[in-house]
Amino acid sequence: MIDSEPRLSLLDRSRTRVGEADWEALRSTVTRAANAERLGYDRFWVAEHHGVPGIAGAAPAVLLAAVAGATTTIRIGSAGVMLPHHQPLVVAEQFATLTAFAAGRVDLGVGRSPGFTAPVRRALRQTEPDFTADLTELLGFLTGTAEISVHPQPRGAVPLYALATGSGLRVAAELGLPVVVGGPLLGVGGDPAPGLSALAEYRRAFRPSPRQPGPWVGISLDVLVADTAAEAADLLLPEAWAMARSRTAGVFPPLEPVEAVRAAARTPRQQQYLEQTVAAAITGTPAQVESRLAELLDRTGAAELVAAGSTFDRAALAASDSALAALFGRATHFGTARP
C-alpha cells in the first residue's frame, strides 16, 4: 500500500462519449464525484475547456455547484479556471458563491492556457494575458485586501492553486502559491531531470505567504488500474487516440470504444502521438501502479496525486477509481475531509 500521507484526488474533464449527449458527461462527472467521496478521495477537481467536441466541462463554477449538492465531505475544486478567459473579480465572486453551499470545501486552481483554436480565442475576447497581475488581483479579492470587497462574502478561505509549467512555477514561487504540475515536468516515460530541476527551483525561490508558509507541490497525470496490465492499457487507448487525433487533425473528439480505436487506421504520426500519451501515463495492475506511483511521489516530493485518467467504459473507470483508492488505503478514511 502507498503511504497514505499524500492526498489522493481525481480530475474529471467531463469527457464525452460517441453516441451520447453532452449533458450525460456532466451528470457522469457528478456521479463520479459522489463515488469518489464514498471511496475516501480527498478532493475532486473539474476543468475548463471551450468549444471542444470531446469535453462538456466549460463552466467549472457551475459544475462544482452540482458536485457540491451531491457531496458533503470531499473537497471540490477547479483544475482549473483559465484566467485569460475571465476577469479576476468574476472568478472570485463565483467561488465565494460556491462557499455558500460547500463551506470549507472549495479550492480554486487557476491556469493560463489559451483557447483551443483561433475561433475559440476570438469568441472569448482573449487578449495577451498578464498572469502575474491577474493572480495578484485575484488574491486581493480572495483575501479582502483589494480596493473593493467581494460579495457574497466567502464562508471561510478559498485556497488558491497555480496550475504551473516552467514560467508558471516562477510566478507561483514569487506569490507564495502551491502548485499542481503535470506533463513533461513529471518525466514519466522520459527524462525526469528537467522537471526535478524546475521543482527544485520553485522550492528554492518560494516566498512564504500568509496563506502558504512553504512550497507545496501536487502532481497530475493519467492513472488507470485494472486486473491485468493489458486491460489497463486498453483503458487508456480511447484517450490516447483522441489526443493523437487532436494533434494531427485539429479536433479533440469524443471518446470511442476500445474496439473502434483498435480498428481505426493510423498514420505514423498519429501512432507516434498515441505512444507519447501512453508513455506519459501510469497504467497496470494494482501492484504495478503502486510501484510506479510510489517512485514518482518520492522523486517529486509531491503532497497530492491528482489522477486524471478517463476511458470510454464508465464502469471500468469506476473500477479503476476504486482500485486506486485502495492502493492509498482510502477506504479507511471515509467520511473525513482533509484540509
pLDDT value at position 224? 98
In this structure, is residue 79 part of a structural domain? yes
In this structure, is residue 339 part of a structural domain? no
| DSSP code string of 161-210 | EEE--HHHHHHHHHHT--EEEEGGGG-TTS--HHHHHHHHHHHHH---BT
In this structure, is residue 325 part of a structural domain? yes
In this structure, is residue 83 part of a structural domain? yes
Q: What is the tens place of the pLDDT at every residue in 159-192?
A: 999 998 778 899 999 999 999 999 889 999 889 9
Q: Domain with 203 in it: what CATH number? A: 3.20.20.30
In this structure, is residue 243 part of a structural domain? no
User: Using alpha carbons only, how large is the chain's radius of gyration in Å?
Assistant: 19
pLDDT value at position 51? 83
pLDDT value at position 333? 41
Q: How many domains does the chain have?
A: 1
In this structure, is residue 154 part of a structural domain? yes
In this structure, is residue 215 part of a structural domain? yes
- Report whether 195 contacts 165 (CB < 8 A): no
Q: What is the tens place of the pLDDT at every residue in 223-236?
A: 999 999 999 999 99
Determine the distance from the C-alpha atom of residue 165 to the mean position of all C-alpha atoms in its chain, rounded to a whole number.
14
Q: What is the tens place of the pLDDT at every residue in 246-288?
A: 999 888 899 999 999 999 999 999 999 999 999 999 999 999 9
Q: What is the tens place of the pLDDT at every residue in 23-61?
A: 999 999 999 999 999 999 999 999 998 888 899 999 999
pTM: 0.93
In this structure, is residue 316 part of a structural domain? yes
pLDDT at 129 over 90: no
Residue 267, C-beta contacts closer than 8 angstroms, at least 6 positions apart: 248
- Report whether 179 contacts 168 (CB < 8 A): yes
Please measure the distance between the N-terminal and C-terminal CA atoms of the chain and give it in whole angstroms: 22
Where in the sequence is the domain holding 180, given as residue range(s)? 7-224+284-333
